[in-house]
Amino acid sequence: KNEVEQSPQNLTAQEGEFITINCSYSVGISALHWLQQHPGGGIVSLFMLSSGKKKHGRLIATINIQEKHSSLHITASHPRDSAVYICAAYSGGGADGLTFGKGTHLIIQP
């Protein structure tokens, strides 16, 4: 069973700061998902990646398959980026092959 660890658990930063959230996993995977969960529970998929790097607006996700590690970066952070960011690693074997981290609670102060 894959073990997915995120760091930090909680992060408070000032508006405009560059943010990095880390995700490591224990078993080789075929895909890694980054999700955003806002207060109230709704979850939005930000990225799905299996290698390299993806960028969408101010968000950048990278993955290093050899090191079993992924990072989510937010440039020019804004209070509306405040949310819980969750990584989930898919190691195959069907629907139960997707393992979620506990999330990083990010607060961006104005």
Cβ proximity to other proteins: between 30 and 109 the closer is 30
Instruction: Tell me, rounded to whole angstroms, the distance of Cα 32 from its chain centroid.
Output: 9
Q: How far apart are CA 22 and CA 62, in angstroms?
A: 10
Residue selected from 101, 104, 106, 108 as contacting other proteins according to rule CB under 8 A: 101
Cis peptide before 8 (omega within 30 of 0): yes
Do residues 15 and 79 lie in contact, with contact meaning Cβ atoms separated by under 8 Å?
Answer: yes
Q: Give yes or no for a contact between 58 and 74, defined as CB atoms under 8 angstroms apart.
A: yes
Shortest reach from residue 87's CB to other proteins, in Å: 10
Binding pattern to other proteins, positions 49-88, x when CB under 8 A? -x-----------------------------------x-x
Interface residues for other proteins in 14-53 (CB under 8 A)? 30-31, 33, 35, 40-45, 48, 50
Contact set with other proteins (CB under 8 A): 4, 30-31, 33, 35, 40-45, 48, 50, 86, 88, 90, 92, 94-103
